[in-house]
Amino acid sequence: MPEIGVIGAGVMGVGVAQNLAQCGFDVVLVDRDEEVLANARAAIARNCRMSALMGGPALDADAVLARITTAQGADAVAKSEIVIENITENWEAKRALHAELDQVCGPEVVIIANTSAIPITRIASVGAHPERVVGVHFMNPVPAKPVVELIPGVHTAPDTVRRTRELLEAMGKRAVEAKDASGFISNRVLMLTVNEAAFLVYEGVATAEAVDEVFRGCFGHPMGPLETADLIGVDTILYSVEVLYEHFADSKYRPCPLLKQMTDAGLHGRKSGRGFYTYN
């Protein structure tokens, strides 16, 4: 199987790297911070040990980690046939990284942008080969979610889409194709829901617990919108809503001030130990 480069060792990058490795791919997991990479390996080992207990397949953590090499710097993916970028949902950071990838990767390399809201055509415009850039919106936790959104940009080549579909199928994913518009399918709806749920708490209409209980009990959702925000990352939710607001210039996407305050305070959800809820 081809070597896959995975850039960004946060929650999404960890999930993507684990999913690839447990499906037999060799992975280069890249981040700027050595401590982040060490934490990523620990998280993958923990996830593998917990997999069967959570209803997933029984996984050999050592075998999965043996397929994952960690490295610092984007040049580590120069030999990868496909690169999946998973960094924070911030346009300036995305632009800088994709400009670097355009120099590091040969024109035959498929570059997948794992983004929840930024248009793929905008990301592809950074480099000299927009035909090899495509969007895939993976869901969290990546190994457990069977469906992804596949988003070709205006210039994405059919062969890029074909190769991406083949990779996703090998990862056990079913790709649902969407046209290139900010937020695509899931986050065009989900981010509005989470943002409005945050407004309910901000305005004192209801507690986070009450909001989530209504969604679980009345609508049958396994998780309420604010539990979901903590899982995704409150900061990631804010950045995604800001992208929607910027792209559509529509007041319905205005970010809730509570999301901004929580992000500034470091209350990012599960990954920081506290968000709308407190975690051990």
Please check if 60 is assigned to a binding site: no
**DSSP string covering 76-134, please?**
GGTT-SEEEE---S-HHHHHHHHHHHHHHS-TTSEEEE--SSS-HHHHHTTSS-GGGEE
> 3-class SS at 237?
helix
Q: Is 153 left (phi over 0), alpha (psi -120 to 50) or beta?
A: beta
Q: What is the DSSP letter of 217?
A: H
13 annotated to a ligand binding site: yes
* Integer angstrom CA distances of residue 112 from 142, 179, 212: 15, 15, 33
* Residue 10 in marked binding region: yes
User: Is 271 annotated as belonging to a binding site?
Assistant: yes
224 appears as a binding residue in the annotation: no
9: annotated binding-site residue? yes
Question: Does residue 209 have a known ligand-binding role?
Answer: no
State how far the Cα of 119 lies from the Cα of 125, in Å rounded to an integer.
10
Rounded to whole angstroms, the Cα distance separating 256 from 36 reads 29
Distance CA 64, CA 22 (A): 5
Other CB atoms within a 10 A radius of the CB of residue 41 amount to 17
- The CA–CA distances, whole Å, from 39 to 45, 120, 192, 267 equal 10, 30, 32, 19
Q: What is the largest CA-CA distance in the chain?
A: 54
**79 annotated binding-site participant:** no
User: Binding site membership: which residues?
Assistant: 8-13, 31, 89, 94, 116, 140, 271
User: Binding site membership for NAD(+): which residues?
Assistant: 8-13, 31, 89, 94, 116, 140, 271
